[in-house]
A and B are shown apart, each in its own frame.
Chain A
Amino acid sequence: MTSVTTEAYEAAFDAAVAADERIEPRDWMPEAYRATLIRQMAQHAHSEIIGMQPEANWITRAPSLRRKAILMAKVQDEAGHGLYLYSAAETLGVSRDELLDKLHTGRQKYSSIFNYPTLTWADVGAIGWLVDGAAITNQVPLCRCSYGPYARAMVRVCKEESFHQRQGYELLLALSKGTPAQHAMAQDAVDRWWWPSLMMFGPPDDASAHSAQSMAWKIKRHSNDELRQRFVDICVPQAESLGLSLPDPDLRWNEERGHHDFGAIDWSELTEVIKGNGPCNEQRLGQRRRAHEEGAWVREAAAAHAAKRRTAQHTEPREATA
């Protein structure tokens, strides 16, 4: 065996990425690639977990049993997505506990969108249609991400997310076609969630710190602005068929570009929310920490019981066979 230099490993990694091969957990990878993936996958997992809160806020008040069942199933799926994503991140050599600790101490982020409050039932529909819609637009390209475990997790997540998105749309449609009060509730929710949803694609391309490297590594496949444009183009006709307007006076079809032009995003708002000054930052992180702290005795009990079981198995003689 000859010793292989780091340069040779790097060359093999670059060649695999260039050939659209998947990088797997045991493959050599640059430390920066590993660190970027851990950061992105952890943030993604955290977003699923924190993202349960704004919707769970309405489980006990859902206005029909059918809607309540749909919402419960959705929140359950989000916990499941969090679990897949933490597992996928663990293939990179970190533990779920470590990542949760980073979330709880504010050292890792979650999606800024979940710092907005769900003030009416229609917000549940707006989250499904717009927030899940934006998430899917972001995540479908991740199904082809260069890191295998992440790409495979995204395939499963995207299937379920698309289902949630359609349910959100259908919820808004029922409201839009319902009583005048229901229609107004739906419009108000779309007015409040539209701009925060556009911010989910991240800062504009000329201000995005990680984009170039992530695209070179094929973690990202499209730029923030490309995905945002795609999302706007998808939403405009959907809003029309919903009978709801989008709160942007500058929104119009541009024949020349073949895309919709839209108004300027207030990036200072996103900056504030990311800094922790959004409407629900304290509440969301506070609830997550509290659930974790108040559950500590349960996790300790499970660990203690498992340890007793292991000891018992080691010390008890096997039953004699007849």
Chain B
Amino acid sequence: MTATSMDTAAALALGDDALVLSHRLGEWAGHAPVLEEEVALANIALDLLGQARVLLSLVGDEDELAYLREERAFRNLQLVEQPGGDFAHTIARQLYFSGYQYLLYERLAADGGPLSGLAAKAVKEVAYHRDHAEQWTTRLGDGTQESHRRMQRACDALWRYTGEMFRPVEGLGLDAEDWVLLDAAWTARVTEVLTGATLTVPEGPRADAWSAGGGREGLHTEPFGRMLAEMQHLHRSHPGASW
């Protein structure tokens, strides 16, 4: 599969999403609330890293792209670069992102475009990620008062980053109408899960008024640079070395 310049932008956007979220989930290793979640979060991180490697390889050398770009050249959503916070923040980030990724990959898998093969494989993994996030949203939302409070706080805090997911990505072959439909399907699903979990759908801005969202143009939030410093340090310390 060769990438045209059009799908280069798309592969980079989706690849960076997967790369950055995988990294954030990798930060949980050894810190999870139960052993089963050590396994689950690492598993999801590995799936995403696998997706990232395929997508970045469509664009160029995966390691050059991951380790030698500076933050202004990354095209990931601001949502996925948000620090893990408590377990509820991680679950809210997973709920929002896996819901988006599932719908997008399902759509791409169906349309026979250049990323359809990859999307068809990834959508099976993402179905698990979404199930995991939805189940935890339900447990935490409809668990104890404390977990309800934390889950609501996390959903509210990350809400402003969800509008960016439905800004058109160049090269995916989707038109404006498709993005509106994806957004509507995502909103319906998330509303159903949050409501079922006795949580309130956040009311803050997503895409109108002021809301976050410049990741696709390389405009990121402050924690992202620090994340890259850690991720890239060793690779950059040994220019030209192979590992």
Q: Which residues of A contact B (CB under 8 A)?
A: 49, 52-53, 56, 59-69, 72-73, 75-76, 79-80, 82-83, 86, 121, 171, 174-175, 178-179, 181-182, 287, 290-292, 294-302, 304-305, 308
Q: Which one of B19, B29, B230, B235 has the highest number of Cβ atoms from chain A below 10 Å of its Cβ?
A: B29
Contact indicator A65/B140 (Cβ below 8 Å): no
Bound CA–CA A60/B227 (angstroms): 9
Contact indicator B242/A178 (Cβ below 8 Å): yes
**What are 8 of the A-B contact pairs (CB < 8 Å)?**
A64-B243, A75-B30, A86-B35, A178-B242, A179-B240, A296-B33, A298-B33, A300-B143
* Other-chain residue from B53, B87, B243 in contact with A298 (beta carbon distance below 8 A): B87
Contact indicator B144/A63 (Cβ below 8 Å): no
The 9 tightest CB contacts between A and B, nearest first, are A295-B33, A301-B143, A301-B147, A76-B42, A56-B29, A79-B38, A298-B33, A56-B30, A305-B139
Q: Mark B83-114, 1 if CB is under 8 A from A, else 0.
A: 00011000000000000000000000000000
Known: A56-B29, A76-B43, A290-B31. 6 other contacts (CB 8 A): A65-B66, A80-B39, A83-B39, A171-B243, A174-B243, A297-B144
The stretch of B44-52, B71-79, B161-169 in contact with A is B44-52
| Given contacts A61-B230, A72-B29, A75-B30, A302 and B35 within 8 Å (CB-CB) | no
Assess whether B23 is interfacial by the CB under 8 Å rule.
yes
Assess whether B170 is interfacial by the CB under 8 Å rule.
no
Interface residues of B in 11-55 (CB under 8 A from A): 19, 23, 26-27, 29-39, 42-43, 45-46, 49-50, 52-53
Contact indicator B33/A291 (Cβ below 8 Å): yes
Number of inter-chain CB pairs below 8 Å: 141
| Given contacts A65-B63, A69-B49, A121-B234, A295 and B32 within 8 Å (CB-CB) | yes
Assess whether B150 is interfacial by the CB under 8 Å rule.
yes
| Given contacts A64-B63, A64-B235, A300-B146, A287 and B31 within 8 Å (CB-CB) | yes
Contact indicator A60/B45 (Cβ below 8 Å): no
Q: How many residues of B contact A (CB 8 A)?
A: 49
Contact indicator B26/A72 (Cβ below 8 Å): yes
Q: Which residues of B contact A80 (CB under 8 A)?
A: 39
Assess whether B138 is interfacial by the CB under 8 Å rule.
yes
Q: Which residues of A contact B63 (CB under 8 A)?
A: 64-65
Contact indicator B34/A298 (Cβ below 8 Å): yes
Q: Which residues of A contact B66 (CB under 8 A)?
A: 65
Q: Which residues of A contact B124 (CB under 8 A)?
A: none
Q: How far is the CB of A118 from chain B (nearest CB, A)?
A: 12
* Other-chain residue from A60, A76, A300, A304 in contact with B230 (beta carbon distance below 8 A): A60
Q: Which residues of B contact A294 (CB under 8 A)?
A: 31, 33, 86
Q: Which residues of B contact A49 (CB under 8 A)?
A: 35
Q: How far is the CB of B107 from chain A (nearest CB, A)?
A: 26
Q: Which residues of A contact B140 (CB under 8 A)?
A: 298, 301, 305
* Other-chain residue from B19, B39, B87, B147 in contact with A79 (beta carbon distance below 8 A): B39
